[in-house]
Amino acid sequence: MTDQQQGATLAPVKLKYLDFLLAVHKARQSHKKPLLIPPDEQRLLEIIAVRYAMHQPLSMMQALELRDELFLSPSAVSRKIDKLRDAELIHVVVDTVDRRMKFIEPAEKALAHFEYLGTLMPASTLG
């Protein structure tokens, strides 16, 4: 049995991040913007972009070790990387010093994706 009043305590509290998630969810359901990607690929893309922004690009081997964070097997992570690359959201760059090392970087299309997500943020979080 559920308590009908249980959610009422959240209404007066301003939950900016929840507002943002709701906006993303609505945009995903409306299919207005085809740039929205599945949540597991979104999370991987976020990790890649954050590491790139920190000037610590994610290597392919490091990405495959994200299984605990992404709750995916290394082979599933590899498939997600392939999907992101096929969607032109990431680039895999070979290290100039050690050609065995490959780094994953966000592409222009990924930056446009994050720019779009930024437009979904509630106006109160932008000021």
CATH code of the domain in which 63 resides: 1.10.10.10
Per residue in 45-73, pLDDT (tens digit) is: 999 999 999 999 999 999 999 988 999 99
Express the helix, strand and coil content of the chain in percent, nearest 5 each. Answer: 55, 10, 35
Is residue 33 situated within a structural domain? no
Per residue in 75-98, pLDDT (tens digit) is: 999 999 999 999 999 999 999 999
Q: What is the pTM of this model?
A: 0.77
Q: Which two tokens stand for residue 54?
A: 């920190």
- Which domain does 71 fall in, by range? 40-121
Is residue 115 situated within a structural domain? yes
Note the helical H segments in 7-107: 16-30, 39-53, 60-64, 67-70, 74-86
Is residue 11 situated within a structural domain? no
